[in-house]
Chain A
Amino acid sequence: MSENIQNTQEQEVRSLPRIGSKAPAFEAVTTIGTLKLEDYKGSWLVLFSHPADFTPVCTTEFMAFQEIYPQLREMNTELLGLSIDSVHSHIAWVRNIEEKFGVKIEFPIIADLNKDVAHKYGMIMPEESSTEASRAVFIIDDKQVVRAIIYYPLSTGRNMDEILRVIKALQTTDKHNIATPANWKEGDKVIVPPSPTQEGAEERMKDENLECVDFYFCKKQL
Chain B
Amino acid sequence: MACIDDKGNLTATAKKILTAVKDQSLTAEDVANEAGLPLFKVRSSLRDMASMGFVFQNGDSYQLNEKAEKLLNRGS
Count of B interface residues, CB-CB < 8 Å: 13
How far is A5 from B39 in the complex, measured between Cα atoms in Å?
42
- Let me know if B38 and A34 touch, CB within 8 A: no
How far is A78 from B2 in the complex, measured between Cα atoms in Å?
20
- Let me know if A34 and B2 touch, CB within 8 A: yes
- Let me know if A78 and B40 touch, CB within 8 A: yes
Query: Is A187 positioned at the interface, with any CB of B under 8 Å from its CB?
Result: no
Interface of B is mostly: helix
Query: Is A36 positioned at the interface, with any CB of B under 8 Å from its CB?
Result: yes
How far is A97 from B15 in the complex, measured between Cα atoms in Å?
27
- Of all chain B residues, the one with the shortest Cβ separation from A34 is B44
How far is A32 from B38 in the complex, measured between Cα atoms in Å?
12
In chain A, positions 21-46 with a C-beta closer than 8 Å to chain B are: 32-36, 38-40, 42-43
- Let me know if B44 and A42 touch, CB within 8 A: no
Q: Mark B40-73, 1 if CB is under 8 A from A, else 0.
A: 1101110110000000000000000000000000
Which residues from chain B contact A38 at a C-beta distance below 8 Å? 43
How far is A16 from B16 in the complex, measured between Cα atoms in Å?
39
- Of all chain A residues, the one with the shortest Cβ separation from B42 is A39
- Of all chain A residues, the one with the shortest Cβ separation from B13 is A32
Shortest Cβ distance from B29 into chain A, in angstroms? 8
- Let me know if A36 and B44 touch, CB within 8 A: yes
The residue that A43 contacts in the complex, of B1, B39, B45, B48, with Cβ under 8 A, is B39
Q: Could you name 21 residue pairs across A and B whose Cβ atoms are closer than 8 Å?
A: A32-B41, A32-B44, A33-B1, A33-B2, A33-B3, A33-B45, A33-B48, A34-B47, A34-B48, A35-B40, A36-B47, A38-B43, A39-B39, A39-B40, A39-B43, A42-B29, A43-B39, A43-B40, A73-B38, A78-B38, A78-B40
Query: Given known contacts A33-B2, A35-B44, A78-B38, what 12 new A-B pairs fall within 8 Å (CB)?
Result: A32-B2, A32-B44, A33-B1, A33-B3, A33-B44, A34-B2, A34-B44, A34-B47, A39-B40, A39-B43, A39-B44, A78-B40
